[in-house]
Amino acid sequence: MKIGILTGGGDCPGLNSVIRAVVRRAINDEHEVVGIRYGWKGILEKLLMPLDLRSVSGILPKGGTILGTSRTNPYKKENGPEAAKKNFKELGLDALVAIGGEDTLGVATKLYKEGLNIVGVPKTIDNDLAATDFTFGFDTAINIVMECIDRLHTTAESHNRIMVVEVMGRHAGWIATHAGIAGGADYILIPEIPIDQDEVCGSIRKRHERGKNFSIVVVAEGACFKDVEVATTEKKLDEFGHVRLGGIGHTLGKRIEEKTGFETRVTVLGHIQRGGSPTAFDRVLGTRFGIKAYELIKEGKFGRMASLKGNQILDVSLEEATARLKTLDLDLYEISKVFFC
């Protein structure tokens, strides 16, 4: 077989672990593997890179993706799906492993229904993909955020300040809540629940009344006030219809300072959360997903996605996996609330 691999959407730590696992396993069985560069763009423009044992050697600890990525959507290009199907054939691909989040796998679902042999692997630091307990990249991201919160604690305490930390999480508060609990945040704000500024400020005031002289507030980029639309840095939409988020931290910080009178500073963590070497958990999960993707191809189980359920790697239909997003488990948020101020 000739197996293609592509990585689409935002990059995340652990992508190279998946690529390495697919290549190692497929080459063991004497199949050929090619990398498709820059996600779906590579299929539309036939941008290939050979993948052999040498090209995947040493990539396990590397962040990002050796294949490059993009947010190209074939369904937003004139004759895009037709070109994808034609090129798939012309490139001689017998199967494709699409590694991505809701957008990339949404395209994979549609192209599979149009007859292409595709299997999916779920990735995103946001952990908001349904049908898998965790996506790889998330564990690395929350560990980075936790360390940043730890560091912000010492400077906040030294200066008697409120620190607002804006983290990623477009639709879901997984990063904010996991990293917030791990870092001992005094308030956590998530996209699933509109921000009630009186409650946030009241809670901070109470904390200061009981003798604390600093507070850490974690806010997900997709969180918004009851009275204001979601904060964006640009109005332009990408090919999947998403605006570029960012800015809620600054709006929130200003409001907290005005309402409480406490000096407030804002840190936007941004792409730091997506960069660098994956944790052991993400390397292992990526490796397990990669092996599963190869097995699905070998068994001819196309239209399926590797998924983590409990401690088992199973497979689910791509359609089911992309039908809805997985928002935060609100029981976990209740636990985080025990520690609010």
Binding footprint of ligand F6P on the chain (CB under 6 A)? 10, 124-126, 168-170, 221, 245
> How many C-beta atoms surround the C-beta of residue 98 within 10 A?
28
Collapsed DSSP state (helix, strand, coil) of residue 137: coil
Nearer to ligand F6P by Cβ, of 127 and 307: the residue is 127
- Residue 10 beta carbon to ligand F6P: minimum distance, rounded to whole angstroms: 3
Report in angstroms how near the CB of residue 215 gets to ligand F6P at its nearest.
24
In terms of CB distance, is 109 or 135 closer to ligand F6P?
135
Question: Least CB distance from residue 135 to ligand F6P, whole Å?
Answer: 10
Torsion angles phi and psi, residue 315, rounded to 5: -130, 145
Residue by residue, DSSP assigns 3-62 as: EEEEE-SS--TTHHHHHHHHHHHHHHTT-EEEEESTTHHHHHHT-EEEE-TTTTTT-TT-
Kindly tell me which of 62 and 153 has the beta carbon lying closer to ligand F6P. Answer: 62
* Residue 58 CB contacts under 8 Å (≥ 6 apart), including other chains: none
Q: How far is the CB of 15 from ligand F6P (least distance, A)?
A: 11
End-to-end CA distance of the chain: 58
- How far apart, in whole angstroms, are the C-alpha atoms of residue 278 and residue 285? 10
Of 55 and 277, CB closest to ligand F6P? 277
- Residue (of 163, 128, 175, 181) closest to 270 by Cα position: 175
Tokens coding 306 = 């590797």
Residue 16's nearest CA partner among 290, 257, 271, 214 is 290
Cβ atoms within 10 A of the Cβ of 58, count? 10
Catalytic residue among 126, 128, 139, 282: 126
Q: Among candidates 60, 245, 230, which has minimal Cα distance to 167?
A: 245
Would you say 126 or 192 has its CB closer to ligand F6P? 126
Residue nearer to ligand F6P on the CB measure, 117 or 135: 135
Residue 126 C-beta: closest distance to ligand F6P, Å: 5
Residue 267: both structure tokens together? 């840190």
| Nearest residue to 282 via CA among 66, 25, 13, 22 | 13
What is the Cα–Cα distance from 108 to 131, expressed in whole angstroms? 16
Cα Rg of the chain (Å, integer): 21
Shortest Cβ distance from residue 234 to ligand F6P (Å)?
A: 10
Residue nearest to ligand F6P according to CB distances in the complex: 10
Q: Is 128 a catalytic residue?
A: no
Q: Which positions are annotated as active-site residues?
A: 126
